[in-house]
């Protein structure tokens, strides 16, 4: 497995609520993608809590982007 090569990058949305970057990338097979969008977030940690009974803890929250209530792992 090889990393993708970033050929060009520009910030297309930059406000206090959301930052989005558009990258032009070259895949390991040589294919060029000029519209790969990345949501830029501050450093985060994903937590997978497991109880003493070996149960995984999820959070249920509304996600407006998909208009659904989803089960997700914990993000700190």
Nearest alpha carbon to residue 24 among 5, 12, 7, 37: 7
- The tally of domains found in the chain comes to 2
Whether the Cβ atoms of residue 70 and residue 60 lie closer than 8 Å to each other:
yes
* DSSP classification of residue 4: P
**pLDDT at position 13 over 90:** yes
Q: What is the pLDDT of residues 18-46, one digit of tens each?
A: 899 999 999 999 999 999 999 998 887 88
Residues 25 and 54 in one domain: no
Mean local confidence (pLDDT), 8-13? 97
Residues 36 and 6 in one domain: yes
Nearest alpha carbon to residue 32 among 4, 9, 56, 54: 4
30: domain range? 1-42
Residues 48 and 34 in one domain: no
* Average pLDDT across the chain, whole number: 91
Residues 8 and 38 in one domain: yes
Residues 23 and 47 in one domain: no
- Residue 1's pLDDT band (boundaries 50, 70, 90)? confident
Residues 38 and 58 in one domain: no
């Amino acid at each position: 497995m090889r990393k993708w090569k970033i050929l060009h990058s520009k910030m297309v949305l930059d406000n206090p609520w959301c930052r989005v970057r558009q990258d032009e990338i070259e895949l390991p097979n040589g294919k060029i993608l000029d519209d790969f969008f990345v949501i830029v977030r501050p450093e985060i940690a994903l937590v997978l809590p497991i109880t003493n009974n070996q149960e995984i803890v999820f959070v249920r929250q509304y996600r407006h982007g998909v208009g659904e209530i989803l089960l997700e792992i914990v993000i700190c």
